[in-house]
Amino acid sequence: MDNWRINHLFSLLKEDPKDEFVHFAIAQEYNKNEAYDKAIEYYEKLKELNQQYVGLYYHLAATYAEIEEEEKALKTYEEGIIIANALKDLHALSELKNAKLNYEMEL
């Protein structure tokens, strides 16, 4: 893991504990390094801060899929689809639907 990067992200988070992008970046950093439990922790914290941060659903669901938490992955894709639809974010909606369909086909 890039210690400088993660330390920098945590210093930014300390400055602003509600910075949604920093939570997302920390989760991504953990995910990249296969620290899936920590990645999920920060995706979930982001979800608590802002349920409408639509990008988190794709990545959180994929992380659940990676650790074979099938029900949580499918539920997360579904939640993201609902949010993207409500926000009229057609790009996110399409990506979430495709990712969910691809995942279901793998099961």
- Per-residue pLDDT averaged across 80-100, rounded? 98
Give the span between the Cα atoms of 90 and 75, in whole angstroms: 19
- pTM, whole model, 2 decimals? 0.94
Query: Which pLDDT score, from 0 to 100, does residue 69 have?
Result: 98
Give the span between the Cα atoms of 75 and 44, in whole angstroms: 13
Query: Which pLDDT score, from 0 to 100, does residue 1 have?
Result: 67
pLDDT tops 70 at residue 84: yes
Which CATH superfamily hosts domain 3-106?
Tetratricopeptide repeat domain (1.25.40.10)
Write the pLDDT tens digit of every residue in 19-76: 999 999 999 999 999 999 999 999 999 999 999 999 999 999 999 999 999 999 999 9
Write the pLDDT tens digit of every residue in 92-107: 999 999 999 999 999 9
Sign of the Cα pseudo-torsion (28, 32, 38, 43, in order): positive
